[in-house]
């Protein structure tokens, strides 16, 4: 079993995805527990992967026994193990909250949802585990197609949003594929380690430049990085609540991982200004996303633009590419996944009990204190109040920006925090100090939602207090191989 | 001559343009299909060698220079499958969109979505 | 000499635990108040237990884990930290007693949130007092901002909500500036721990860089320390209930800001670096301006609490001024003033609260003759006010005297003039209140404040007097202040 750890997480979710519809024919109510078991097992496997990496270093797993560079390779190294835990863990917590009783905005316990969610998780986990560029494309599209379906399942405006997502997502994935094609033409190999060795010899070639640019643009689009974020606001606003609990938390993070991996570990474009562009796009995203979030009245759209802003932090860290900034970016992958999941889950619960997603209709903090408190913890993390998790990713990003002598980016990060304060304050104020909407059900969120929320809130605090261990033992080694 | 590559690029641009310029969602979808096909064409082009034949083994000929590079073909099989799945997904969405809003024009749909949003909210309902 | 010990880690614990216990006892007011009181008492005892070692040179250090790979969470009981922790903890005890009487008398709402936020604020205050490096300090500093917010908006009115927004806007902006400063310090000096005499001396940074860094620190801490023009939030926040104003805005929040500034001046930059830069002088100018302008603004106020707020703005800068003058006496005087002002200002706020409880009046102009009906309250007010102005043998006289001596030692004539002028202004805005209270027709249907409210204010008034007579009692406050001053100013 230990030998197969690199592929185990995605195999578990894939198996779950296949089993859920079959089992559901027999017993519809078994869909949720089965899905939970599959993703929970995947999360445990991912955790096992981290333990393995910490104990024995990087593991390479040739799929089917075919040796690289001809065979497809799956790699378990500090960064991929870390991100796999984030995706699988947060994914599991999100699935917990979409259990019976929570999903009335989505047909209760629909097996289709769970199967799609598991396929999406397979896609994300596959993107993360891949050691081969084309394999990343395959899993990218697996994740994407299931994401399109998940978003579109909301009906009405969600369909329009999903179509836009389809078109733009395909453009992004296709750009990525084109870039991969360029690199293949140049070197004849698709294996990441092999490419990393061969590419420096071709550094000046137009194919290399083209490939680097196409890959970066494609993945940036998938990541929702400004100005390629057009699909994101609508998709996350109209997606049904269980989907909104899952996708915003993990989808963009997997894409960010893919970008980090290909740009910083394979392409390493030291002569091209790609990383600089990425850093500045990140800085712009932080500010623009936050400013757009300020003006929103729909809580979900506010959170969607907030995601645009927060992905900017990650992009900024990746673009600065020094070890401290990278540690901050990777840590933010963890922190943002958790806080976005908590916030979307919380808003979903409030909308469930209340009368709609507008800020004015969310004033249920007093009736739903646990939900409200968990949202406050997530909000504090979003703003960057110590010692909650979000503060520390900003700490490392700030240090990284200073090391790279980019005072403007330092200011962008700080201003971004203040803007985040404003829009998070608006949301929190609406929840805790707003008027209870008339006719709203006066009850706390369903227990499944509460378990997930509280677990996320605790994890956010723990990630803050324990960040030093994570950074020192996982993220710094992960950043060591970059650029 | 590199004119096949120019054709691929042309198709790429055509697809992109169609996706951006047309308001009809089905036409956008067609543009997307053209876009994906252009990329598939590009990959096919890079597998071609001068004087080589299809990558199916001819008895007695083992020299690699006699056959086109099969790897891009294989990769594109996957890409075609992905394209089919994506197109199918998009068509399904379009069918539902048409059922919900009665039109496939982007602006008309946006109008009707906004009109829906302006109406007082009803409790979240079950959707399939 | 650093001695590992769990004591500094235990000190914030009662308050932290109390937050949870208070939240759990929402239905039992008596139990809830008991937790608050117990926490306050135990915190005070724990802090006082650290005084001997702080004075003896054996600094107790608690370093449980790392906040970041190269920056540990460290609580260090050095003289300055123990000084501030003692002041805030002991005053928390009195404020809790006062709070209990106050909220009962006024049947205030949301009492659980009130007491829990108080406990959390004191947790944060003791944490930042004992913080051994800038990151630990920053964490508790921001936590204090968040913890005090529910107290500012306590009344739940629109005005309170607005005050809360102003408070957050100012303090969080200051927090962002402070974060920038801390990260920058880390980049320049490679370390963040507080050392008497500063850590930036060896950084090799240019003067321009250090100036900018210092400005950022002043901005960061100066919001809480109410240096003009960053003081605007303080009078606005007076909308909060009086015990909140008393403790937080006379002791915890604003004193944390001033404490932070002194830490920066003495333990991050150091008098040498600041002297070379000339930045110390710039801060001194800001302080002097605040002292005078604050007092002038107080003269113009009719709302008693706003008047006291501006008085606080003015008095806080005494501490800042003392830190920048570079003379040991001035430094010690400034540090001691943290305590003297706290005790006396709290008395004044307690009196204002007592008046509010009994008469529901807040404007000075309406307080005619009150002294005849509330003689004890107004006597305490008069005594505290005059002592704050500098009347011997009050506590503020001791600290002001040292400030003046220090100013004379460093030939800072402008500072001396400012201090003397300020004394006159203090008298100018306090005496009319006292006179008005004791002259004029006594209003009917007013009686002395209830005991739960009256006793604390009498106790603090007496404390103000006793602190002046025996400044080294009560945890050796004077010795702690002097040790701090010597360690900072005579560091290599």
Q: Write out the DSSP string of A133-165.
A: HHHHHHHHHHHHHHHHHHHHTT-THHHHHHHHH
For an interface test with B, the pick among A69, A163, A297 (most B C-beta atoms closer than 10 Å) comes out as: A163
Q: What is the pLDDT of residue C474?
A: 65
C319 near C258, Cβ under 8 Å? yes
Q: Which residues 6-45 of A have a C-beta within 8 angstroms of B?
A: none
> What is the structure's pLDDT at C492?
58
B102 CA: distance to closest CA in chain A (Å): 11
HSE at residue A71, side-chain half, CA atoms within 13 A, is 12
Residue A64: Cβ-neighbour burial (10 angstroms; 0-12, 13-18, 19+)? exposed
Q: Indicate yes or no: CB of C184 within 8 angstroms of CB of A402.
A: yes
Segment C200-227 mean pLDDT? 86
Q: Which of B25, B39, B96 sits opposite A174 (nearest CB)?
A: B39
Residue pLDDT, tens place only, A251-261 = 999 999 999 99
Domain range spanning residue B34?
A: 3-50+65-104
Q: Which residue has the higher pLDDT, C242 or A124?
A: A124
Q: Packing angle between helix A299-320 and helix A389-403, nearest 10 degrees?
A: 40
CA C44 remoteness from chain centre: 16
**Cα-Cα end-to-end distance for chain C:** 16
pLDDT at site A107? 53
Establish if A472 touches chain C: CB-CB under 8 angstroms: yes
Burial of C169 (0-12, 13-18, 19+ CB in 10 A): middle
Rounded average pLDDT over C293-308: 88
Query: Which residues does chain A have within 8 Å of residue B96's beta carbon, measured at their own beta carbons?
Result: 152, 155, 159
Number of Cβ pairs closer than 8 Å across A and C? 68
Task: Kindly compute the dihedral angle of the four CA atoms of residues A28, A30, A32, A37, in this order, to the nearest 10 degrees.
Answer: -150
Instruction: List chain A residues with CB under 8 Å of C208.
Output: none
Model confidence at A248, in pLDDT bands (50, 70, 90)?
very high
Q: How far apart are CA A254 and CA A142, in angstroms?
A: 13
Span A355-374, average pLDDT: 81
**Percent of chain A topping pLDDT 90:** 58
- Closest approach of B32 to chain A, Cα-based (Å): 7
Chain A closest CA to B100's CA: distance in Å? 6
Residues of chain A found within 8 Å of residue C176, distances taken between Cβ atoms: 414-415, 417-418
Q: How close C92 gets to chain A, by Cα (Å)? A: 24
Report the gap between the CA of A323 and the closest CA in chain C (Å). Answer: 13
For residue B109, being part of any structural domain is answered with no
Q: For chain A, give the percent of residues with pLDDT over 70.
A: 96
Kindly compute the dihedral angle of the four CA atoms of residues C21, C27, C30, C33, in this order, to the nearest 10 degrees.
40
- C vs B contact (3+ beta-carbon pairs below 8 A): no
Report residue C156's pLDDT band, with 50, 70 and 90 as the boundaries.
Answer: confident
Scanning every residue of chain A, which has its alpha carbon at the shortest distance from the alpha carbon of B103?
A: A160
Is this prediction's pTM over 0.80? yes
Range from B62-66, C139-143, C325-329, C446-450 that averages highest in pLDDT: C139-143
Please tell me the distance from the alpha carbon of residue C259 to that of residue C221, in angstroms, as a whole number. 9
Q: Which helix (H) or strand (E) holds A408?
A: helix A407-433
Facing residue for B126 by CB, picked from A104, A170, A241: A104
Q: Over B14-48, what HEC string results?
A: HHHHHHHHCCEHHHHHHHHHHHHHHHHHHHHHHHC
To the nearest whole number, what is the mean pLDDT of chain C? Answer: 86
- Beta-bridge partner residues of A130: A74
Tell me the chain A residues in contact with residue B92 when contact means C-beta distances shorter than 8 Å.
Answer: 152
* Alpha carbon distance A459, A464 (integer Å): 8
The distance of C136 to chain A (nearest Cα, Å) reads: 9
The SS3 call for residue A358 is strand
At residue C326, the pLDDT reads 79
Structure tokens belonging to residue A182: 């360029």
Task: With CB atoms and an 8 Å threshold, state whether B97 touches A356.
Answer: no
State mean pLDDT over A196-203: 88
Confidence of residue C478 (pLDDT cuts 50, 70, 90): confident
Cβ distance A386 to C143 less than 8 Å, yes or no, reads yes
Mean pLDDT of A455-459: 94
Average pLDDT on A165-179 reads 95
Name the residue facing A403 among C165, C168, C187 (closest C-beta).
C187
- Say how many domains are in chain B: 1
User: A444: exposed, middle or buried (C-beta count within 10 Å: 0-12, 13-18, 19+)?
Assistant: middle
Q: Are C298 and C427 in contact (CB under 8 A)?
A: no
Q: What residue segments make up the domains of chain A, in order of their start?
A: 273-483
- When CB atoms are compared, the residue of A145, A154, A185 closest to B127 is A154
Q: Report whether pLDDT(C158) > 80.
A: yes
User: Which tokens belong to C126?
Assistant: 């003791």
Cα angle C226, C231, C233; round to 5 = 115
Q: For residue A177, what is the nearest residue in chain B, using CA coordinates?
A: B39
Distances (CA, A) of C391 to A254, A380, C311, C398: 68, 46, 16, 9
| Closest residue to C146, CB basis, from A385, A403, A411 | A385
Contact flag for B and A (3+ C-beta pairs < 8 Å): yes
**Is there a contact between A399 and A324 (Cβ–Cβ < 8 Å)?**
yes
What value does the mean pLDDT take over residues C11-40? 86
- B contact test, residue of A72, A100, A166 with most B CBs within 10 A: A166
Q: Mutate which of A164, A167, A217, A357 to disrupt the B interface (most B C-beta within 10 Å)? A: A167
CB-based contact B126 A240, cutoff 8 Å:
no
Question: In this complex, which chains have at least 3 CB pairs below 8 Å with chain C?
Answer: A
Q: Quick check: B128 and A110 CB within 8 A? A: yes
Strands (E), A81-211: none
- CA A263 – CA A275 distance, rounded (Å): 8
Distance, in Å, from the CA atom of C332 to the CA atom of C238, rounded to the nearest integer, reads: 30
Helix (H, G, I), strand (E, B) or coil at A470: helix
pLDDT at A361: 76
Question: Would you say residue A125 has pLDDT above 80?
Answer: yes
Q: How far apart are CA A274 and CA C247, in angstroms?
A: 53
Here the CATH number for the domain that contains residue B75 is 1.10.287.3510
Angstrom distance (rounded) from CA C39 to CA C389: 33
Q: Is the pLDDT of residue A305 over 90?
A: yes
Q: What stretch of H or E contains A73?
A: strand A73-76
Least Cα separation, residue A128 to chain B (angstroms):
19
Which of A289-298, B57-66, B113-122, C483-492 has the lowest average pLDDT?
A: B113-122
Q: Which of C165, C172, C183 sits opposite A395 (nearest CB)?
A: C183
Q: How many domains does chain C have?
A: 1
Report the distance separating Cα A423 and Cα A245, nearest Å. 20
- pLDDT average, residue stretch C339-346: 89
Interface test with C, best of A376, A379, A386, A399 (most C CBs within 10 A): A386
CA distance A194 to chain B (A): 16
**What average pLDDT is seen over chain A?**
89
Give the one of B28, B117, B121 whose C-beta lies nearest to A355's C-beta. B121
Q: With cut-offs at 50, 70 and 90, classify the pLDDT of residue A121.
A: very high
* Contact check, Cβ <8 Å, B127/A159: no
- Specify whether the backbone of C154 is left (phi greater than 0), alpha (psi in -120 to 50) or beta: alpha
Q: Name the more confident of C425 and A441.
A: C425
Is A178 close to B128, i.e. CB distance below 8 A? Answer: no
Q: Measured between alpha carbons, how far is residue B39 from residues A135, A142, A211, A266, C290 in Å?
A: 17, 18, 13, 22, 69
Q: Which residue of A has its CA nearest to C67?
A: A468
Q: State whether B29 and A167 contact (CB < 8 Å).
A: yes
A103 touches chain B (CB under 8 A): no
**pLDDT (0 to 100) of residue C177:** 93
What's the rounded mean pLDDT across residues C155-178?
A: 91
Q: Does any CB of chain A come closer than 8 Å to the CB of residue C68?
A: yes
Which of A232-236, C22-26, C396-400 shows the lowest per-residue confidence on average (mean pLDDT)? C22-26
**What percentage of chain B carries pLDDT values higher than 70?**
92
What was the pLDDT predicted at A137?
95
Question: What is the gyration radius of the CA atoms in chain A, in angstroms?
Answer: 21
Neighbours of B123 (CB within 10 A): 13
The closest alpha carbon to A302, from A405, A232, A242, A250, belongs to: A232
B60 assigned to some structural domain: no
Label residue A82 by pLDDT band (50, 70, 90): very high
Q: What is the pLDDT of residues A367-420, one digit of tens each?
A: 888 888 999 999 999 999 988 889 999 999 999 999 998 899 999 999 999 999
What ipTM did this prediction achieve?
A: 0.91
Interface test with A, best of B124, B125, B128 (most A CBs within 10 A): B124
Four-point Cα dihedral C303, C307, C313, C315, nearest 10:
-160
Q: What are phi and psi of B16, to 5 degrees?
A: -60, -45
Taking a C-beta distance cutoff of 8 angstroms, is the pair C256, C141 a contact? yes
Q: What is the 3-state secondary structure (H, E, C) of chain C?
A: CEEECCHHHHCCHHHHHHHHHHHHCCCCHHHHHHHHHHHHHHHHHHHHHCHHHHHHCCEEEECCCEEECCEECCEEECHHHHHHHHHHHHHHHHHHHHHHHHHHHHCCCCHHHHHHHHHHHHHHHHHHHHECEHHHHHHHHHHHHHHHHHHHCCCCCHHHHHHHHHHHHHHHHHHHHHHHHHHHHHHHHCCCECCCCCCCCCCCCCHHHHHHHHHHHHHHHHHHCCCCCCCCHHHHHHHCCHHHHHHHHHHHHHHHHHHHHHHHHHHHHHHHHHHHHCHHHHHHHHHHHHHHHHHHHHHCCCEHHHHHHHHHHHHHHHHHHHHHHCCHHHHHHHHHHHHHHHHHHHHHHHHHHHHHHHHCCCEHHHCCCHHHHCHHHHHHHHHHHHHHHCCCCCHHHHHHHHHHHHHHHCCCHHHHHHHHHHHHHHHHHHHHHHHHHHCCCCCCCCCCCCHHHHHHHHHHHHHHHHHHHCCCHHHHHHHHHHHHHHHHHCCC
Chain B contact partners (≥3 CB pairs within 8 A): A
Cβ count within 10 A of residue C360 = 9
Q: Which residues contact C95 (CB under 8 A, 6 or more apart)?
A: C118, C243, C246, C247, C251, C346, C456
CA separation for the pair A138, A131 (Å, rounded)? 12
- Taking contacts as CB-CB distances below 8 angstroms, the residues of chain C near A428 are none
C215 touches chain A (CB under 8 A): no
Q: Which residue from B minimizes the CA distance to A165?
A: B90
Residue A191 DSSP label: B
> Residue B104 phi/psi, 5° resolution?
-120, 15
**C246 — pLDDT class (breaks 50, 70, 90):** confident
Per-residue pLDDT tens, chain B, 128 aa: give them. 688 999 999 999 999 999 999 999 999 999 999 999 999 999 999 998 888 888 888 888 888 888 888 899 999 999 999 999 999 999 999 999 999 888 889 888 888 888 887 776 555 444 43
Cα A375 to Cα A390: distance, rounded to the nearest angstrom: 14
């Amino acid at each position: 079993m230990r030998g197969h750890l690199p592929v185990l997480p995605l195999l578990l979710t894939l198996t779950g995805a296949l089993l859920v519809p079959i089992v559901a024919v027999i017993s519809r109510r078994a869909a949720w527990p089965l899905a939970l078991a599959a993703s929970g097992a995947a999360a445990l496997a991912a955790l096992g992967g981290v333990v393995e990496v910490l104990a024995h270093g990087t593991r390479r797993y040739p799929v089917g026994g075919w040796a690289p560079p001809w065979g497809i390779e799956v790699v378990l190294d500090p960064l991929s193990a870390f991100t796999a835990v984030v995706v699988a863990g947060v994914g599991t917590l999100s699935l917990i909250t979409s259990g019976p009783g929570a999903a009335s905005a989505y047909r209760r316990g629909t097996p289709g949802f769970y199967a799609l969610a598991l396929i999406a998780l397979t896609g994300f986990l596959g993107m993360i585990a891949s050691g081969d560029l084309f394999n990343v494309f395959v899993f990218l599209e697996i994740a994407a197609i299931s994401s399109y379906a998940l978003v579109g399942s909301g009906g009405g405006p969600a369909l329009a949003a999903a179509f836009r997502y389809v078109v733009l997502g395909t453009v992004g994935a296709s750009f990525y594929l084109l870039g991969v094609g360029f690199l293949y033409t140049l070197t004849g190999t698709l294996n990441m380690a092999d490419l990393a060795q061969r590419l420096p010899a071709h550094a000046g070639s137009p194919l290399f430049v083209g490939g680097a640019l196409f890959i970066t643009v494609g993945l940036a689009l998938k990541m929702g990085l400004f100005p390629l974020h057009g699909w994101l606001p609508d998709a996350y606003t109209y997606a049904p609540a269980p989907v909104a609990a899952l996708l915003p938390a993990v989808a963009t993070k997997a894409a960010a991982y893919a970008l980090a991996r290909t740009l910083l570990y394979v392409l390493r474009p030291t002569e091209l200004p790609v990383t600089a562009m990425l850093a500045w796009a990140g800085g712009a995203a932080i500010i623009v996303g936050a400013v757009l979030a300020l003006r929103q009245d729909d809580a979900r759209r506010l959170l969607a633009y907030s995601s645009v802003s927060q992905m900017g932090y990650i992009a900024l860290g990746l673009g600065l590419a020094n070890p401290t900034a990278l540690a901050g970016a990777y840590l933010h992958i963890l922190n943002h996944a958790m806080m976005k999941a908590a916030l979307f889950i919380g808003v979903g619960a409030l909308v469930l009990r209340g009368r709609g997603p507008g800020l004015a209709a969310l004033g249920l903090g007093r009736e739903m204190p646990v939900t409200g408190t968990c949202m406050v913890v997530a909000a504090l993390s979003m703003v960057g109040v110590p010692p909650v998790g979000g503060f520390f990713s900003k700490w490392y990003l700030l240090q990284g920006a200073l090391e790279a002598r980019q005072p403007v980016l330092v200011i962008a990060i700080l201003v971004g925090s203040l803007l985040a304060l404003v829009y998070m304050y608006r949301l929190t104020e609406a929840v805790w100090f707003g008027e209870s909407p008339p006719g709203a059900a006066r009850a706390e969120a369903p227990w499944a939602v509460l378990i997930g929320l509280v677990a996320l809130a605790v994890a956010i605090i723990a990630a803050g207090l324990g960040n030093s261990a994570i950074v020192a033992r996982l993220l710094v080694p992960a950043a060591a191989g970059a650029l | 001559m590199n004119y096949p590559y120019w054709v691929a690029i042309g198709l790429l641009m055509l697809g992109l343009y169609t996706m951006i310029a047309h308001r009809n969602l089905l036409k956008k979808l067609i543009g997307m299909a053209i876009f994906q096909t252009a990329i598939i064409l590009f990959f096919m082009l890079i597998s071609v060698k001068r004087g080589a034949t299809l990558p199916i083994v001819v008895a007695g000929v083992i020299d690699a220079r006699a056959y086109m590079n099969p790897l891009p073909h294989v990769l594109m099989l996957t890409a075609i499958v992905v394209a089919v799945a994506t197109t199918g997904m998009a068509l399904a969405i379009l069918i539902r969109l048409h059922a919900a809003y009665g039109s496939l024009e982007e602006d008309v749909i946006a109008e009707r979505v906004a009109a829906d949003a302006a109406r007082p909210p009803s409790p979240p309902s079950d959707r399939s | 000499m650093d001695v590992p010990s769990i004591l500094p880690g235990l000190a914030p614990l009662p308050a932290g635990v109390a937050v949870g216990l208070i939240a759990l006892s929402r239905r039992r007011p008596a139990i809830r108040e008991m937790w608050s009181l117990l926490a306050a008492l135990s915190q005070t005892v724990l802090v006082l237990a650290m005084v001997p070692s702080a004075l003896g040179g054996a600094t107790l250090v608690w370093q449980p884990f790392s906040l970041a790979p190269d920056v540990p969470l460290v609580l260090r009981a050095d003289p300055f930290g123990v000084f501030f922790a003692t002041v805030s903890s002991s005053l928390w005890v009195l404020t809790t007693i006062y709070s209990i009487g106050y909220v009962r008398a006024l049947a205030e709402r949301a009492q659980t949130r009130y007491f829990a936020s108080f406990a959390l604020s004191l947790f944060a205050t003791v944490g930042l007092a004992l913080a051994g490096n800038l990151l630990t300090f920053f964490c508790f500093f921001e936590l204090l901002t968040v913890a005090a917010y529910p107290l500012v908006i306590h009344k739940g009115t629109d005005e309170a909500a607005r005050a809360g927004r102003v408070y957050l806007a100012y303090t969080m902006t200051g927090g962002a500036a402070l974060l920038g400063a801390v990260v920058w310090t880390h980049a320049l000096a490679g370390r963040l721990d507080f050392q008497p005499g500063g850590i930036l001396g060896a950084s090799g940074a240019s003067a321009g860089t250090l100036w900018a860094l210092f400005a950022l620190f002043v901005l960061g801490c100066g919001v809480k320390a109410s240096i003009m023009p960053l003081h605007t939030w303080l009078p606005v926040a007076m909308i909060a209930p009086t015990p909140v104003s008393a403790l937080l805005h006379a002791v915890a929040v604003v004193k944390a800001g001033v404490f932070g500034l002194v830490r920066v001046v003495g333990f991050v930059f150091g008098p040498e670096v600041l002297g070379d830069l000339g930045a110390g002088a710039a801060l001194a100018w800001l302080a002097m301006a605040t002292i005078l302008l604050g007092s002038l603004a107080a003269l113009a106020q009719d709302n008693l609490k706003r008047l006291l707020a501006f008085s606080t703005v003015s008095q806080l800068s005494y501490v800042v001024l003392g830190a920048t003058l570079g003379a040991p006496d001035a430094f010690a005087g400034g540090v001691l003033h943290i305590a003297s002002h706290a005790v006396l200002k709290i008395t004044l706020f307690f009196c204002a609260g007592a008046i509010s409880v009994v008469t529901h009046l807040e404007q000075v102009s309406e307080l005619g003759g009150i002294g005849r009906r509330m003689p004890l309250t107004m006597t305490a007010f008069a005594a505290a006010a005059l002592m704050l102005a500098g009347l011997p043998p009050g506590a503020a006289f001791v600290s002001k005297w040292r400030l003046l001596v220090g100013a004379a030692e460093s030939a800072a004539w402008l500072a001396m003039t400012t201090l003397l002028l300020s004394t006159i202004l203090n008298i100018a805005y306090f005496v009319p209140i006292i006179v008005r209270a004791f002259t004029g027709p006594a209003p009917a249907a007013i009686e002395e404040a209830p005991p739960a409210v009256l006793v604390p204010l009498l106790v603090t008034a007496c404390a103000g007097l006793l602190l002046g007579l025996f400044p080294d009692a009560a945890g050796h406050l004077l010795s702690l202040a002097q040790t701090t001053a010597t360690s900072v100013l005579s560091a290599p």
